[in-house]
Amino acid sequence: MNAYAKRLMWPVLILVALIIVNIAATGIDFIIPSVNDDGRLGGAFVNILRRSAPLLLIALGMTLVIATKGIDLSVGATYAIGAAIACQMIIDGTDQSAAGLIFSAVALALVVTAVIGAWNGTMVAYFGIQPIVATLILMIAGRGIAQLVTGGQIPKVDDSSPFLQLGRGEILTIPVPIWIAALVLTAIALLTRKTALGLLLESVGGNPEASRLAGIRSKGITVLVYLVCGLCAGLAGLIGAANVGSADANNGGLWIELDAILAVVIGGTALLGGRFYLLGTTIGVVIIGMLDDTIINVGLSSQWQFTAKAIVVFAVALLQSPEFRGWILKPFKPKPEAAAPAPAEEVPAK
């Protein structure tokens, strides 16, 4: 079994175990999709995928950042800023159903969040500020910026606005958020696995100095991954705002950065940088999204939510550790037989 399969084996086993537990608690309907009255694909598992789409977008961007030995704590605030800009611009317009207005609002939100991500990357790459410090600044200030955009209010988009289709619509019965997340995952996978970009990311994260001496423009790549991470956070904010029909600067995307980091770690990407696993991150997102339903289905209170996440991350981290697996399996390994002593050489008689 190669290293890639070993990294994905444990998250897959955890996911399968959660599915089995939910099927045992609620029946086979948990995994079987159905078509709702509105023509949209539904069912418990499909709803989990739909709700997890914003988290997957942010986790994909976070995976690229972590691959360069970085971290982005500002994605939750960036989520709120993107949602605030789009919703405020739409409600300030004369016709909330105007295609031009909605396109302009979405485009402006994505441009601003991409600039925020590029700013984080510039602080890290060109000014030498530690990633956790550079992004912590915007994590704190970002929600204040979102409140300034909305004037401290919660802008609510009219129910007839096509903007809401980003979170509530469907294409070929499949919810739009799932389509968006799948397209972004495919695009990032193609760019990082079918071009040299993935190797460049891993080289920058694995050994920044060696990659610089090899002629790789590590600073430009660092700015690029933070830009993509900000863009993904902004897109996630648009989906979240479209789903609820409003933008809450205080609570929108709150602590989603922690869930994104957990998903990346569960998926097998190390925080030390280097190798990254997009499929593993996707599995990690589904695991986190399924935990909330699992807690309710087995009869536990919602207060177990954070504890359950911690237990799952702890279990996956231990299972992925070769040292831990070796310690557990040590009593079952056959002991090597002691080699027979070599015969003593005879001393010839004088």
Judge whether 304 and 293 are in contact, CB under 8 Å: no
Q: What is the pLDDT at residue 279?
A: 94
Q: What is the pLDDT at residue 323?
A: 78
Q: What is the pLDDT at residue 350?
A: 53
Tokens of 17: 């175990």
Q: What is the pLDDT at residue 132?
A: 94
Judge whether 40 and 197 are in contact, CB under 8 Å: no
Tokens of 243: 């789903």
Handedness of CA 290, 293, 299, 302 (dihedral sign): positive
- Using a 10 angstrom Cβ sphere, with 0-12 exposed, 13-18 middle and 19 or more buried, the burial of residue 189 is middle
Helix, strand, or coil here: 331? helix
* Region for residue 299 given its phi and psi (left: phi exceeds 0; alpha: psi -120 to 50; beta: otherwise): left
Interior angle at CA 110, CA 134 and CA 198, nearest 5: 65
Q: What is the pTM of this model?
A: 0.90
Q: What is the pLDDT at residue 299?
A: 84
Helices within 68-175 (DSSP H only): 75-92, 99-125, 131-150, 165-168
Per-residue pLDDT tens listing for the chain (350 residues): 666 777 788 889 989 999 999 999 999 989 998 887 777 788 899 999 999 999 999 999 999 999 999 999 999 999 999 999 999 999 998 888 899 999 999 999 999 999 999 999 999 999 999 999 999 999 999 999 999 999 989 999 988 789 999 999 999 999 999 999 999 999 999 999 999 889 899 898 887 777 877 788 889 999 999 999 999 999 999 999 999 999 999 999 999 999 999 999 999 888 888 889 999 999 999 999 998 889 888 888 777 777 877 887 787 777 767 777 677 766 766 666 655 565 656 656 55
